[in-house]
Structure 1
Amino acid sequence: MDEGNTSAQSGTDIANMTFEQALVALEDIVQQLERGDVPLDQSITLYERGEKLRAACQNRLDTAQARIEKIVAGSDGVPTGTAPLDGGS
């Protein structure tokens, strides 16, 4: 059974994936695990990688939300720029 050797389980470094790539890989893992035809040890490996992918996606979403929230609006309510995320003004 070679189904577990998809892109979701490949050695691709999660840090180098785009959000979209990580999400597709995570969805692939979920589908494999939901099918229930993956051996136990492989399921555990897939689950571990899936958790890392989930955390990476969540981190990217949190970062994007923080950036959006840092948009500085002028007195007329129109965005005038952004503020640094590190707490600087």
Structure 2
Amino acid sequence: MQDTDAMTDTPVTEMSFEQAMSELEKVLGQLERGDVALDESIALYERGAALKKRCEEKLKEAEEKVAAITLDADGAPTGTKPVTGL
């Protein structure tokens, strides 16, 4: 893989949303340039798919947290409640 120093050794499952998104952008850039061998392109595509999945998971977690915030009569957060059905 070219620009391997641009990729991180952090496992995808341990990345924050920001880390996964940043690396996904790098992977997409390499694939779009088309300057990597076929085997490397396949590995990049697989990495990109895993990074995309991680970003989706982290966004869903954030949406659930936001949906769980309850507000009092003045609109101030009073705490959280369990989210069901998402």
TM-score range, shorter chain: 0.7 to 0.9
> How many pairs are equivalent?
84
For residue 46 of structure 2, what is the amino acid of its counterpart?
A: E
Q: What RMSD in Å do the two structures reach over aligned CA positions?
A: 1.8
From the two aligned structures, give the one with the greater helix fraction: 2
* TM-score scaled by length of structure 2: 0.84
Q: Could you say which residue in structure 2 is the equivalent of 1:3?
A: 2
Q: Could you say which residue in structure 2 is the equivalent of 1:54?
A: 52
Q: Could you say which residue in structure 1 is the equivalent of 2:77?
A: 79
Q: Is the 8 A contact 2:16 2:58 kept in 1?
A: no
Q: Could you say which residue in structure 2 is the equivalent of 1:38?
A: 36
Structure 2 spans left out of the alignment, 5+ residues: none
1:11 Cα deviation from its structure 2 partner: 4.0
Q: Is the 8 A contact 2:21 2:55 kept in 1?
A: yes
Structure 1 residue ranges (4+ consecutive) displaced by more than 6 angstroms after TM superposition: none
Q: Percent identity?
A: 43
